Structure 1
Amino acid sequence: MPWSIANASYWKQQHNKGVTGITDIKGRGHALTIDSGWQEVADTALPFVRRYA
């Protein structure tokens, strides 16, 4: 999705009590399990999940 939409959604979520984060990973799609480079997405998300899970 375009960064402007993701960033607007991120800032809207700041009103929630839960933890919210955003990272721009260039060239990645939404089908994480079949897109090339999914490991980079997982490696980026895992520390966040471990920290807040």
Structure 2
Amino acid sequence: MRVADLRELRQLSKAELYQRATEQKITDRSKMSREQLVDALDSAGRRRKKSAA
């Protein structure tokens, strides 16, 4: 994920992060803190970009 994307994630509320995590099918998202959701979404974004390349 680009730095700008990570910055954008950090500006979202926990509810918005949770919604994005749901869309990305991130497991155990209900147990995650806000920062953990940011990290999980950042990792998922990087994996998605690698598989698309």
- Whether TM exceeds 0.5 here: the answer is no
Give 1 or 2: higher helix fraction: 2
| Structure having the higher Rg | 1
Normalising by structure 1, report the TM-score: 0.32
Normalising by structure 2, report the TM-score: 0.32
